[in-house]
Amino acid sequence: MDPPIYDTLILSDLHLGADTSRAGAALRMLKENRFRRLILLGDIFADLNFRRLTKEHWKFLSYIRKLSNPKRGIEVVWVEGNHDHGLTDVMSHLVGVRVYQSYGWQYQSLRHLAIHGHQFDRLHANNLRLNYLGTLLYLQLQRLDTKGKPLARLIDRLNTRWLRLSPKVASGALSHAIAHDVDRIFCGHTHAAMHEEHGNHHYYNSGGWVDSSNTYITIDESGVQIREYACGLAPEGVGGNTGEEFASTENEYEDAVH
């Protein structure tokens, strides 16, 4: 049987370029689903260094470019995350996807809004330079970690809990939804999938793709579902080697940034 056709599928926090990125699993998930709209809800990249991308990471980008072909009839939307900052022009050229700071649409007479969520993280907003240095150190730690990156994944989970990112982002997002009369608001950033509501306003977090729990969101006539895609923790590629079949995509990136 063919899988159902969702109105919208939302995926965030893939962190391409990081050793912990589950790009291969994310690619398989997209190929196994059918949807009219795909929202890449920020932090698709770990940082601006494309030399960190593996073969699996380039495969994911190549597939996004195929999905964005108008002949497919799929709307592909990229919402900028804090790690994606500065890639707007590059991504538009590289994969043919328009990049937004936030993206709103209406479905079943309900107002929907997708925004990455770092806007509601005051610690991040007030310490941009410190966060950038922290990202570089964390990426280096991943390279020194053992197979499966257990230490890096543990630090990511503890960091989310210690900073209480999930409740902070949820509270800020719901306040934003109420102030702007949005029925459903969708965020990423925290790497922790969740759903909260306040009256008729609903907050959903799509989670992330850097740990054993890899989640995404689907929206259709039956409502909003947070779904988990099962995959192992084995490394999915070797850093810095894109492979000949992705040379054209890599070359277009080089042209875009020079």
In which residue are the tokens 């900073």 written? Answer: 163
Is residue 114 within 8 A of residue 103, CB to CB? The reply is yes
pTM over cut 0.85: no
Collapsed DSSP state (helix, strand, coil) of residue 12? coil
- The pairing of strands 214-220 and 223-229 is antiparallel
Inform me whether the pLDDT recorded for 50 exceeds 90: no
Fold exhibited by the domain 5-257: Purple Acid Phosphatase; chain A, domain 2 (3.60.21)
- In one-letter notation, the amino acid at residue 175 is S
Q: What is the pLDDT of residues 135-172, one digit of tens each?
A: 445 445 545 555 555 655 555 555 554 455 888 999 99
Domain extents for the chain? 5-257
